[in-house]
A and B are shown apart, each in its own frame.
Chain A
Amino acid sequence: MTTPTSELGRFAEPSLYILVSLSDGPKHGYAIMTDVEEMTGAPLGPGTLYGALARLERRGLIEALPPDDRRRPYRITGLGATTLSAQLAHLEGFVRTGLTRLGGAAR
């Protein structure tokens, strides 16, 4: 299935992290970066972060809010929430399959 995130190339994974980070409310770049680092344990570089933000914004999956001083918060759009939900459901099925197979192999 083609989704708006499937064409994001090397930014697909960071884009998914960003969408998850924004799913509980708007955040600016630094807050997204620290949130993603807490979630995944891996830092998100500034070039990767803004490369992914630009792609998500252009595809209408997130939108920029009015800037707060020099920091601009972003929030997930309806399309972004739908896309994220579909991506997570797909991953959930994938994880379940993997765990089931691992369990079968261990026996």
Chain B
Amino acid sequence: MNRLLRLYPRPWRERYEAEVDELLAERPASLRDRFDLVRGATDAWLHPQVAAPASTAADGAGGAERLVVAGSSILGGLLLAAAGLSMNATPLNATVGYKETGVAGALLIVGLIVTGISAVLGARGRRTVIPATTMLLGGLLTLAGWPILIVGFLAYAIACVILGLIRLAASGPVGILFMAIGITLPSFNTEDERALLLVPVGLAWALAGVVVGRRLPALTRSASTAR
């Protein structure tokens, strides 16, 4: 098998790999063909044309469940972005010395929990269930307040990076977004302008939800034409 074909998304490989492999056996790939395959793989990730088989699309989950995944991802992301904006606009509490209180703090905690729920509902198989559940538990731990909240927050961030790494192979854009979220979160700080880091983090979550949501009609359509 041509190693470059491994660059393609799994659903694409399941559909076309044998054919392309046979073609390359008849006409060995030139250097130009190799570049063409890399370009084709990039396109296949950015503009998926082949539906994931039902077993890998969402562990057999129906369209309604995936809509909930997309919706909770978008909602949680917007809550996180709102938390960042709110914290940045809130003056430092002179009594307690931090901002994890009031509306901004509530938005942050609810945002972490809702996105954690989205991660769990969207988990595919045991490998992704463990980090996704860790994210949800991390979000729930932030309810306990200082200092336990920092443990929950870091657990959420680390699990998000791990989940991103795992999902990179099956759903590239979402995997990259998860990794970016997990890497960005430890730099977040409620007490200064770094609170605004929650805005790109929240938008990344919302974008992940949009990516999942956009795949819904595409999956349905191409499943019917692929038969």
Q: Could you list which residues of chain A lie within 8 angstroms of chain B, going by C-beta atoms? A: 9, 28-30, 33, 43, 45-51, 53-55, 57-60, 67, 69-72
Contact = CB atoms under 8 A, between A and B. Distances in A.
Given A29-B19, A71-B22, A47 B49 contact: no
Contacts of A9: 47
B225 A47 contact: no
A58 B225 contact: yes
Contacts, number: 77
B29 interface: yes
Contacts of B18: 67, 70
Given A46-B37, A46-B40, A47-B36, A58 B23 contact: no
Contacts of A47: 33, 36-41, 43
Contacts of B38: 47
Interface residues of B, number: 31
Contact of B19 (A43, A60, A71): A71
B225 A50 contact: no
B20 interface: yes
Given A33-B23, A46-B33, A48-B36, 19 more contacts: A9-B47, A29-B22, A29-B23, A30-B26, A45-B35, A45-B39, A46-B36, A46-B40, A47-B36, A47-B39, A48-B39, A49-B23, A54-B15, A54-B16, A58-B50, A60-B225, A67-B18, A70-B22, A71-B22
